[in-house]
Structure 1
Amino acid sequence: MTAGDPADAPTHERAPCGHTPAADGTSALLSRLAVLRERVTALVEQRAAGDPTAADPLRGLYLSEEAVRHLLSREPVPPVGVVPAKPPADDRADGFTDGLPPAAGDRLAALAARLPLTGLDVAFLLVALAPDLDRAFEPLYGYLNDDVSRRRATTGLALDLCGAPAHLAPARARLHVSAPLCALGLLEVEEPERPFLSRSLRVPDRVLAHLLGDDTPDASLHGHLHPLPRPVPAGAFAHRLAERVAHGPLTVYLREHREGDGLAAVATALHTAGLDALRFTGPADHVPGLLREARLTGRALVVSGLPEQPGPLVAALTAAPDVTVLLTDPRPYDPHWSPDDPLVLDAPRRGAGGTAVWETELGAAGAAFDLAATVAPYRLGGERVARAAHAARALAAFEGGPLTADHVRLAARQQSASGLERHARRIRPDVGWTDLVLPDRPLAQLHELALRARHRDRVLGDWRLSAGGGRGRGVLGLFAGESGTGKTLSAEVVAAELGLDLYVVQLSSVVDKYVGETEKNLERIFTEADRTDAVLLFDEADAVFGRRSEVKDSHDRYANMESAYLLQRLESFDGIALLTTNLRANIDEAFTRRLDLVIDFPFPDREQRLALWRHGLSHVPRADGVDPAPLARDFELAGGSIRSAVVTAAYLAAGRGEPVGDGDLLEGARREYRKAGRLVPGEANW
């Protein structure tokens, strides 16, 4: 068939592209195409009736003199079988769709009902997508366009097929870039350089796929769409948010106190409201396709992880009042981001542990140990809990045994990894309470410190015992005592008890000679620690937490400014921070007042020194009769020095290939005395 041979036009009995009528929505769409084919056939016959070039196989490729005369003599007449509508009373132009059947039950009808589409919009959409469903429309459109190379519908052809005079402004306005069809991404009017009536119409592939029942997201969004975390039992906030989103589209900005707080609240609220959602993380360039996806499927949008400059993304999303958009980010909302302000809310703090989420992810395997106590120190989001649970099960399977608390702790620590290693030395604790030799009082205080870390969210949050004033829920402790009395080891034991990593702050990377740089370095550390499940240790804290002094020069003034900053920052800190000092009096009293516990580590007495010698030798091969009691009596050494003495003795014995003897231990103790500049018992005083 040539473009100029209307006699070969398809009839409505023929299924497009060889498809058999499909069920439900697709069948309704094909029925609409059958009506459209009748209109196309009528218009082709009408055009061919008085056209002397209708049978010319080259019609549309050139203009003969006869064709020009025919065009000059042709008067605009309505298509056969179509009655021109009267000028509409408003801009909806519903009268132009007379003759098109209602599309009850199909996706096109559902889309028109969900979006502000008129009957004329639906007709334009159908005319534009017809060649994508039935190739037979292409030569017919080429004939009606008087150009065999233009095989898609044009704006003029669409108006003709819908019985809308080309000069009627309301009808033309439905194809404007700001009208719903184009603004919502359902229709593209191409070739803006051409006259309006000869511009081509194209329906994006994603829109056509949706109308045919395919809900696969647009390929341009690949890698930017992610599943929502599993919902948790809904609290008061989630119920209120669910009620609000269920009433209609709105835009909400949730400020997270900690990463994942807002996402967990949103997932729970949407689940409570019975709404599906698309979770997006990506640049503003993809917003048009993202909004179109939400409109096609009737889903809400959840946007987390906003870019460094969120303005363009937020502005593009808040400009869509017909789509429910929920944004989450730790930063406070900035009115400069968008002229259309969303509803700004603070996401509720997610309580430590999230036992219900862990129970859901681990199932029956989590009942073999005290799951609540195991996960209490962790404040992971639902998504990270799922990943941690998967990793824990994988670790247990690798070892060939049942799931244990150690597997869960290790997996949770892996999910808490952060950028703290840029500012602090990471220690993975490998010690326990049995490694501590301390008097009862400091040992009990260390246990209390771990207890506070586990239950701070319940006591300070649920029981509302926070002091207010923007104070955080951190746990702060000071370990004071002479060098070697076990302060750093105790911090490691506390971290091990909580199942957390220990980060020792490198003061050389914090203190800076330039004004203001020390505060900036500390802020980076505190900010990273706030979002990480870890124990932060400021060893030799006198360097940054020292006493303020009378201002006598500019150095004193700036030193006091650093202390004032630290005082404010500690109050808002949400993590676990431990400070050590050799002299408690060096720490400013203002810092001491803000600490939860101050633990004094006394110098060990004779009995404790003996216990330390025996603990140090517990894994070392010893000669028969070795007794460290005389060393504990004669050498007043702290725990760190005793350990060093045992290491020296072990090297001496290993060099001989023998077990450690009394002489090796005595030499180790003497060396520690000499290192300290002390007189060694039993040696002459030279």
Structure 2
Amino acid sequence: MNEATPLLERLTGLRERVARLVEHRSADDPTAGDPMRGLYLPEEAIWRLLSLPPATPDTVDAAYATHAVHAGREADGADGSDGADGSNAAGASHTAGPVGAVDRLQRLAQRLRLSELDTGILLIALAPDLDRTFEALYGYLNDDVSRRRATTGLALDLSGVPAHAAVGRARFHASAPLVTLGLLVVEEPERPFLSRALRVPERVVAHLLGDDTTEAALDGTVRPLPDAGTRALSAAGSDGLVPLLAARLAAGPCTVYLREHREGDGLSCATAALGAAGIGALHLTPGAGDRPQGERPHGDHTPRQDIPYAEVLREARLSGRAVVVTSLPERPQELIRALSASDVTVLLAGTRPYDPHWCDTGAPGGEPLVLDAPRQRAGNLEAWTAALGGSPEAGGGTEPGFDLTPVVAAYRLGHEGISRAARAALDLAAFDGTPLSAAHVRLAARQQSASGLEQHSRRIRPDVTWDDLVLPEKPLAQLHELAVRSRNRERVLGDWRLSAGGGRGRGVLGLFAGGSGTGKTLSAEVVAAELGLDLYVVQLSSIVDKYVGETEKNLERIFTEADRTDAVLLFDEADAVFGKRSEVKDAHDRYANMESAYLLQRLESFDGIALLTTNLRGNIDEAFTRRLDLVIDFPFPDQPQRLALWRHSLVHVPCVDDIDPSACARDFELAGGSIRSAVVTAAYAAAGRGEPVTNADLLAGAQREYRKAGRLVLDDVDW
């Protein structure tokens, strides 16, 4: 059989349906036999259309039910599908349209404060999109069978307004409510005024028929802002600004600029306030640009050139929602001017201070209300619990099977970030086929902290625990204290108001001082693992620049990214950057001191977690030391600690039964890093022979580390 045969058979069935429809419509059509039918409309045809009963839910259902009988039979014979079901579904949709349209039209008119004349004109222009008979009727009244839409003159006639009345003609002006609100389009401006066609945009028609799908032109630019929910708002609502802003938003449309300390603060505040006020919102990111997110460096807020701001405002008006704008372009004047409207609430969020020149004098939306957005709280336990399904509203009803408080304490994610992280954590747990665990939550939360730190640092995904540290009690206790400070800084410095003021941040700064190989970097990795954060090791070669001012710029980029990222920042060999200031004897000393002065000021406002390591504590400027929360000294290990380090390094290594590293620990004064290197050397030697590690292998490894350090090695050690 030819491959085209099934398609031709379907066309045969369609032809039969068309024939039945022609027969049905021509049964009482006085122009059915007229050879000029379709080229003009005689008066008897118009009266016939006017004599037809109006389209009501009952008549529509009946018509579709009658057609469904024939369509269903044809569909059963053609492809075996249930045509009657499809027709009935279409009929139900068509039925729901007019009923919903009347209610929605009234609500829209009330919300936008349209006059009775404007509402009537909108309905006149809308009629051909809802009932086909109005096409013929309008063609007859327009004295042109091809002009099947209402014209300005026809709308005035049907409204009972004289064509020469200024009040009527003003309804179609470019500044008239229907036009400026995007509800009506006056087409064909080259025609005389009374013959210009009126069209209602498809999105408005769809909304009036009950379809709330966002316009396709806004895809990728605007999306609904998720509702924060009651439980998720409780922590945010504890800040005095949120309830005050919610009350202002509930009072009526306004324009607000939220100044952010950290990117995301404004969106979190806006989400909380809108949720408390019971107002939905659309989220617009004009600075996201045309390129995919991965192809744009962070901080690139080049505005998109194709954002239909008029459609954004129309979408907000149709749904009665506000517009929240983040990622503002470098020059937001055009954006603010385009979104300025007295009937739509617009909330703008940005890190830059507000500039009065951004707003035109006398703009419809007026001067914005400028507020400082409260900082996002770390460890918003109630928001996390709700997002993970700990409340019936979230679709769950069970608390996580582990203590969530220490797991999420270090994450400064807003409501949207928490929602994404929670969904990702649940997906990871489902993928693993296991109950949700702390590891799932931490991995998902780290994925939300994408940053540009990789440009100047090396990321380490921590894979160590406290068991991997062999340290004396004092530095170990201080490391635990460092983790406690990192988890509770919001409560102590924020809620208990123990921040020193003066614009100081809520960061945690620690200095690890000790000889090479004493465990400083490993300790930083353990702290990051305890907090569930990634560790970023700053590469000094990528930030130190010979040109004046460039080093400070590179450092500023790092601190800015660290402020907006949940991560631990590690400055290894920090004395290269945080060294002591010297007496100014030449220009080099002056500029070196400027770098130190910049770092001192920047550490004051830092909000993240930064760790510094140095082999020589005395090289660090005392001014830096004063700003540190903890200074932890890593002593050189004594013999018992060296033995513990040897044994810890051999835990996963196959060894002979009589292995005993006691002699190596006694005779070779090596730090932890050197001991590990010695064990690696011994393991390679044993692997090459295909045998377990022996005492001789350990001795050879220890001797090699001694030689590397330039120390004397006796070849005839008595074992």
TM-score tier by shorter-chain length is 0.7 to 0.9
Q: 1:399 to 1:365 in 2, by over 3 A?
A: farther
Which residue of 270, 291, 295 maps to 2:313?
291
Point out the more displaced range, 508-517 or 339-348.
339-348
Aligned to 1:239: 243
CA contact (8 A) 2:649 2:676 kept: yes
Q: Secondary structure at the match of 2:506?
A: coil
- Deviation, 1:331, is 3.4
Paired with 2:608 and 2:712, the residues of 1 have a C-alpha distance of 45
Matched, 1:440 2:477: no
> Normalized against structure 2, the TM-score is what?
0.80
Q: How does 1:167-178 map to 2 (within 5 A)?
A: 167-178=164-175
Aligned to 1:160: 157
Paired with 1:563 and 1:15, the residues of 2 have a C-alpha distance of 86
Give the gaps of 5 or more residues in structure 2.
1-30, 32-38, 62-99, 287-303, 361-365, 391-396
- Deviation, 1:113, is 2.2
Cα shift readout 1:358-409 (whole Å, capped 9, x = no counterpart): 1112226644211111110111122222222222223333333322212211
Matched, 1:500 2:533: yes
Aligned to 1:108: 105
Aligned to 2:322: 300
Matched, 1:117 2:114: yes
Q: Secondary structure at the match of 1:206?
A: helix
- Equivalent AA in structure 1 for residue 282 of structure 2: L
Q: How does 1:140-219 map to 2 (within 5 A)?
A: 140-219=137-216
- Deviation, 1:19, is 6.4
Which residue of 360, 368, 376 maps to 1:350?
376
Cα shift readout 1:27-73 (whole Å, capped 9, x = no counterpart): xxxxxxxxxxxxxxxxxxxxxxxxxxxxxxxxxxxxxxxxxxxxxxx
- Deviation, 1:479, is 0.6
Give the gaps of 5 or more residues in structure 1.
24-102
Aligned to 1:589: 622
> Normalized against structure 1, the TM-score is what?
0.84
Aligned to 1:468: 501
Matched, 1:669 2:702: yes
Cα shift readout 1:224-283 (whole Å, capped 9, x = no counterpart): 213425232133322211111111111112223334333232222222222233333345
Paired with 1:646 and 1:444, the residues of 2 have a C-alpha distance of 28
Cα shift readout 1:557-610 (whole Å, capped 9, x = no counterpart): 111111111111111111100001110111111111111111111111122112
Which residue of 43, 58, 72 maps to 1:6?
43
CA contact (8 A) 1:229 1:264 kept: no
Cα shift readout 1:101-133 (whole Å, capped 9, x = no counterpart): xx9973323222222322222222222222222
- Equivalent AA in structure 2 for residue 344 of structure 1: V
Q: How does 1:296-335 map to 2 (within 5 A)?
A: 296-317=318-339, 319-335=340-356
Q: Secondary structure at the match of 1:385?
A: helix
- Equivalent AA in structure 1 for residue 253 of structure 2: P
Matched, 1:536 2:534: no
Q: 1:285 to 1:659 in 2, by over 3 A?
A: closer
Cα shift readout 1:443-470 (whole Å, capped 9, x = no counterpart): 1111111110000000000000001111
CA contact (8 A) 2:46 2:140 kept: no
Aligned to 1:515: 548
- Equivalent AA in structure 2 for residue 226 of structure 1: P
- Equivalent AA in structure 1 for residue 624 of structure 2: F
Aligned to 1:651: 684
Point out the more displaced range, 570-579 or 345-354.
345-354
Paired with 2:268 and 2:226, the residues of 1 have a C-alpha distance of 8
Cα shift readout 1:503-531 (whole Å, capped 9, x = no counterpart): 10111111111111111111111111111
CA contact (8 A) 1:138 1:151 kept: yes
CA contact (8 A) 1:252 1:327 kept: yes
Q: 1:140 to 1:365 in 2, by over 3 A?
A: closer
- Equivalent AA in structure 1 for residue 479 of structure 2: L
Matched, 1:408 2:408: no
Aligned to 2:28: none
Q: 1:218 to 1:395 in 2, by over 3 A?
A: closer
Aligned to 1:276: 280
Paired with 1:456 and 1:449, the residues of 2 have a C-alpha distance of 11
- Equivalent AA in structure 2 for residue 547 of structure 1: K
- Equivalent AA in structure 2 for residue 301 of structure 1: V
Paired with 1:18 and 1:117, the residues of 2 have a C-alpha distance of 26
- Equivalent AA in structure 1 for residue 44 of structure 2: A
Aligned to 2:267: 263
Aligned to 2:648: 615
- Deviation, 1:208, is 2.0
Paired with 1:206 and 1:627, the residues of 2 have a C-alpha distance of 80
- Equivalent AA in structure 2 for residue 228 of structure 1: P
CA contact (8 A) 1:471 1:572 kept: yes
Q: Secondary structure at the match of 2:172?
A: coil
Which residue of 230, 235, 252 maps to 2:228?
230
Sequence identity of aligned pairs in percent?
Answer: 71
Paired with 1:566 and 1:218, the residues of 2 have a C-alpha distance of 49
Q: 1:548 to 1:328 in 2, by over 3 A?
A: same
- Equivalent AA in structure 1 for residue 45 of structure 2: D
Cα shift readout 1:604-626 (whole Å, capped 9, x = no counterpart): 11221121112112222222332
Paired with 1:430 and 1:518, the residues of 2 have a C-alpha distance of 32
Q: 1:104 to 1:289 in 2, by over 3 A?
A: closer
Paired with 1:229 and 1:564, the residues of 2 have a C-alpha distance of 44
Aligned to 1:72: none
Paired with 1:564 and 1:22, the residues of 2 have a C-alpha distance of 79
Cα shift readout 1:521-569 (whole Å, capped 9, x = no counterpart): 1111111111111110010111111111111111111111111111111
CA contact (8 A) 2:262 2:375 kept: yes
- The number of aligned residues is 604
Aligned to 2:421: 388
- Deviation, 1:219, is 2.4
Paired with 2:643 and 2:343, the residues of 1 have a C-alpha distance of 76
CA contact (8 A) 2:457 2:539 kept: yes
Q: Secondary structure at the match of 1:545?
A: coil
CA contact (8 A) 2:519 2:672 kept: yes
CA contact (8 A) 1:225 1:281 kept: no
Which residue of 663, 680, 683 maps to 2:713?
680
